[in-house]
Structure 1
Amino acid sequence: MTALLFIVFLVLLAIGFPIAFALGISAFTYLLFSDIPLMVIPQKMYAGIDVFVLLSIPGFILAGNLMNASGITGRIINFCNALLGHIRGGLGLANVGASMLFGGISGTAIADTASIGSVMIPAMNKEGYDVPFSCAVTASSSTIGPVIPPSLPMIIAATLTGLSVGKLFVAGIVPGLLLGVGFMLITYLISVKRKYPKRPRKTFGFVFKSFFQAFWALMMTVIILFGIIGGVFTPTEASIVAVIYAIAIGLWVYKELKIKMIPAILLQSAKTTAALMVLVGFANLFAWIMTVEELPQLIANSLLELTSNKFMLLLLINLLLIFVGAFMETIAALLILFPVLLGVAVNVGVDPVQFAIIMVFNLVIGLTTPPVGVCLFVASSIGGISLEKIAVAGLPYLMVSILVLLMITYIPEVSLWLPGLFYE
């Protein structure tokens, strides 16, 4: 029966079914041939989404869409260009910098790739950057978004295990900054080698003006993060505060958000939320079936039989997750594998918060690796080039991601130092 579950799931994925429906149909097929009543389908789906913290997800999605419609992308890009444009490969550096700042608002990599890529990829191409390089920088740097708070995958991870969302948010700051700095360094080195252009240095007054224009957008991240850390509001309340703040800034400060635009933004946010919640529901059903079949225990025992050495075990888990991330959507993989692998990691002495960051970071890498790297697909559609060319151009950035992953894995302080300051 377990074989049937996975065969149907893999076949549906291979023929192009959305992963949510692949999970749902494979679970339904399993139940049809078992003695378990079909009533468990709505029960387990509802149980998967009936979690208070998940209410923050539609709020953060709506806030991100509102801020994007308010002209935030352009202001962040202008500020990064003013700050970094005079350096060799400045547009590439600004691309990474904008992703770091925008990621602290959207919390998702795909939104980052689409919003920043639609502006930066044509601009970089116009100034003489290679198209594959422009797309690779955009797709790779967008993976910073799910690591720097607020992060939707981290909210899901906290929901699954009862970990503090605030702790996970804070734990992602240093890894996110390391990733951003690493991407900037590789962008600069490639730009120097290929003699990419640089812009005239801007005056201090111009830089300050561009910072002030982006200031209110950047404050959103500060309000969310320190509000949660300081115990002022819960993550769910923070998402509502973010929505109110986004509306206020869009309507009365930037004045690019119009009342007539809000219904369309609400509809788009509802569609995104609904798709995510269906995925969460079906993934919970799939994970429950795995539990009934005792697959989590089998996986855990198999890993522990291979080795009980903490460092070797973490290496095996990393290899497994990088492989899974290349074929499965981040949230779905997180829902199915995180509770299983967390138990294995904790068993050999890994801190749960550290492992949550390892898990999210691993799966985020999959967003830029074929064959299911969604950020590569978005960037390729904007740049008008093949997925293969972007994947090859993105190899240096993939190496940086793996290096940061190894640091997170084997140096616990990278992810635990800041939470230790704020929560202990």
Structure 2
Amino acid sequence: MSWVLGISVVILIALGAPIFVALLTAASLALLFFPGPPLIALQQTIFGGLDAYALLSVPFFVFAGELMAISGIADRLINLVRALFGRVPGSLGIAALGGSTLIGTICGSSAAAVAAVGRNMYPQLIEGGYGKQRAAGIITSSGAIDIVIPPSIAMILYGASAEQSIAKLFVAGIIPGVVMALLMAGYISFSAMRARIPREAGFRARVAWQAFRQAFWALTMPAFVMTGIYAGFFSPTEAGGFACAYAAFIGIVVYRTVNFRSLLEAAISSAMMTARIMIVVAAAGVISWVLTVEGVPQALIAATADAGMSPLGFLLTVNLLLLAIGCVLDPTSAILVLSPLLVPIAVSLGIDPIHFGVVMTVNLAIGMFTPPFGLNIFVAQSVLGLRTSDIYRGVLPYIGVQISALVLITLIPALSLWLVNGMS
């Protein structure tokens, strides 16, 4: 039965079917034409897959992200980073990177960060002498960090499918996300010096203070959320509810950029996004259940043991697999389908499942801007109005930079687990 599932999914995706259609169709064919569980189990598993407390945090964080997106905070965050870095080589590019990373701490959506930063920074990068390919590469690749930096929808889905603590996953993503951002900033600065891109005006404390004051309320939300989770004051689901209330307060009372109409539009957009995520969750749950019934995870664990694969060898193999898959599938689909298969093997080899979740997420983050089908590439193409070939050339150096970060995160588990070990 398992080979029918695999072949059916690949064929349907190649034909352009939505991922949830491909997954549900494959599971239905397997149950219909092979003896085993009754077909009615399909319906029960679809609804059962959504019956997880951890998934309640998804609509909260999606809505909070939408509220912050319409509050006009992207400009404030970018201006803050720009004011802080002053005459650092590549400061405009670093401002785009920093703005995207800070937006990720609020909405956790890579595509949203690419769109917001692209509209704001692309004209300024072109005017600053970066060129369209270099500017597109910075904007497209920077957004990938947003699914690693908490709050991350990808981490929530991994936690739900792998039955791991979402609070620990959030905390585990902080240092790896910072490592990715620092390596990116270093390369942006180095390449700007090599290309002799003109520097901006020097650091001025008064300008930096003004930019900080304007961005203060936006910066406090992720600080409150992560502090509350780390200190154990509330769960990730409760943190999502707090984030919604706080984002509404900022938009309506502080910045006064959100009115009833925009609030309603944000709610509708959030409901649509949540529905798109949950239907994939339900479909992937069916596939995972069928594979479990067939004993596929247990067979893979036995095959790995027979092959004598070491933990490091397994992680390197998974990295190659996920880098390839990430170019084709979005992180949501890849995490939900692969986690039930890969996590038991990782645990059997003594790999910490929290560390493994971070490794998976970083892999799939890189896939989001890797040609030919990285999601961020198409978002950037729509926002920036460039040819995909220009974006392809622009992102290539940053793929290498992020793979370097992936190697560090894979080989040094403490980058993921140090803060986690300090949690009560």
Q: TM-score range by the shorter chain?
A: over 0.9
What are the equivalent positions in structure 2 for 1:18-417 lying under 5 Å apart? 18-35=18-35, 36-417=37-418
Deviation at 1:395, TM superposition (A): 2.0
Which string of whole-angstrom CA distances, capped at 9 and with x for unpartnered residues, describes residues 381-413 of structure 1? 222223233223222211121111111111111
Q: Partner letter of residue 23 of structure 2?
A: L
Instruction: Tell me whether 153-162 or 217-226 shows the greater mean CA deviation.
Output: 153-162
CA, structure 1 residues 306+394, in 2 after alignment: closer, same or farther (shift >3 Å)? farther
Q: Give 4+ residue runs of structure 1 displaced > 6 Å after superposition.
A: none
Preserved contact between residue 88 and residue 199 of structure 2 (Cα < 8 Å): yes
Q: Look up the SS of the partner of 1:46 in the other structure.
A: helix
Which string of whole-angstrom CA distances, capped at 9 and with x for unpartnered residues, describes residues 311-335 of structure 1? 2222112111212212222111111
Preserved contact between residue 300 and residue 340 of structure 1 (Cα < 8 Å): no
Alpha-carbon separation, structure 2, partners of 1:388 and 1:29: 39
Alpha-carbon separation, structure 2, partners of 1:112 and 1:29: 39
- Under a length normalisation based on structure 1, what TM-score does the superposition of the two structures give? 0.96
Which sections of structure 1, spanning at least 5 residues, go unmatched?
A: none
Instruction: Tell me whether 288-297 or 63-72 shows the greater mean CA deviation.
Output: 288-297
What residue is the counterpart of 2:9 in the other structure? Answer: 9
CA, structure 1 residues 15+122, in 2 after alignment: closer, same or farther (shift >3 Å)? farther
Instruction: Tell me whether 63-72 or 303-312 shows the greater mean CA deviation.
Output: 303-312
Q: Look up the SS of the partner of 2:368 in the other structure.
A: helix
Preserved contact between residue 85 and residue 203 of structure 2 (Cα < 8 Å): no
Q: Partner letter of residue 293 of structure 1?
A: E
Preserved contact between residue 288 and residue 340 of structure 2 (Cα < 8 Å): no
Q: Partner letter of residue 316 of structure 2?
A: L
Alpha-carbon separation, structure 1, partners of 2:387 and 2:14: 20
Q: Look up the SS of the partner of 2:187 in the other structure.
A: helix
Preserved contact between residue 109 and residue 375 of structure 1 (Cα < 8 Å): yes
Q: Partner letter of residue 197 of structure 1?
A: P
Preserved contact between residue 301 and residue 348 of structure 2 (Cα < 8 Å): no
Which string of whole-angstrom CA distances, capped at 9 and with x for unpartnered residues, describes residues 29-48 of structure 1? 32232344332222111111
Deviation at 1:125, TM superposition (A): 1.9
Instruction: Tell me whether 279-288 or 324-333 shows the greater mean CA deviation.
Output: 324-333
Q: Look up the SS of the partner of 1:350 in the other structure.
A: coil
Deviation at 1:6, TM superposition (A): 2.2
CA, structure 1 residues 308+4, in 2 after alignment: closer, same or farther (shift >3 Å)? closer
- Under a length normalisation based on structure 2, what TM-score does the superposition of the two structures give? 0.96
Which string of whole-angstrom CA distances, capped at 9 and with x for unpartnered residues, describes residues 234-281 of structure 1? 111111111110111101111111122111111000000000000100
CA, structure 1 residues 376+261, in 2 after alignment: closer, same or farther (shift >3 Å)? same
Alpha-carbon separation, structure 2, partners of 1:63 and 1:148: 16
CA, structure 1 residues 82+64, in 2 after alignment: closer, same or farther (shift >3 Å)? same
Deviation at 1:85, TM superposition (A): 4.4
Preserved contact between residue 131 and residue 383 of structure 1 (Cα < 8 Å): no
Alpha-carbon separation, structure 2, partners of 1:31 and 1:294: 15
Alpha-carbon separation, structure 2, partners of 1:360 and 1:299: 21
Deviation at 1:202, TM superposition (A): 4.4
CA, structure 1 residues 4+340, in 2 after alignment: closer, same or farther (shift >3 Å)? closer
Which string of whole-angstrom CA distances, capped at 9 and with x for unpartnered residues, describes residues 263-311 of structure 1? 1111000000000000100011111122223222333333333333222
CA RMSD of aligned residues (A): 1.6
Which string of whole-angstrom CA distances, capped at 9 and with x for unpartnered residues, describes residues 23-77 of structure 1? 1222223223234433222211111111111111100000010011011111111
Q: Partner letter of residue 22 of structure 2?
A: A
Which string of whole-angstrom CA distances, capped at 9 and with x for unpartnered residues, describes residues 109-144 of structure 1? 111111111211222123332112111111111111
Alpha-carbon separation, structure 1, partners of 2:267 and 2:349: 45
Instruction: Tell me whether 236-245 or 327-336 shows the greater mean CA deviation.
Output: 327-336
Alpha-carbon separation, structure 2, partners of 1:8 and 1:166: 36
Alpha-carbon separation, structure 1, partners of 2:157 and 2:401: 25
Alpha-carbon separation, structure 2, partners of 1:12 and 1:213: 49
Q: Look up the SS of the partner of 1:163 in the other structure.
A: coil
Preserved contact between residue 54 and residue 155 of structure 1 (Cα < 8 Å): yes
Q: Partner letter of residue 138 of structure 2?
A: V
Q: Look up the SS of the partner of 2:147 in the other structure.
A: coil
- Identity over aligned residues, as a percent? 37
Deviation at 1:375, TM superposition (A): 0.6
Q: Look up the SS of the partner of 1:233 in the other structure.
A: coil
Preserved contact between residue 297 and residue 344 of structure 2 (Cα < 8 Å): no
Alpha-carbon separation, structure 2, partners of 1:342 and 1:358: 11
Alpha-carbon separation, structure 2, partners of 1:364 and 1:71: 25
Alpha-carbon separation, structure 1, partners of 2:307 and 2:389: 35
Preserved contact between residue 304 and residue 344 of structure 1 (Cα < 8 Å): no
Q: Look up the SS of the partner of 2:214 in the other structure.
A: helix
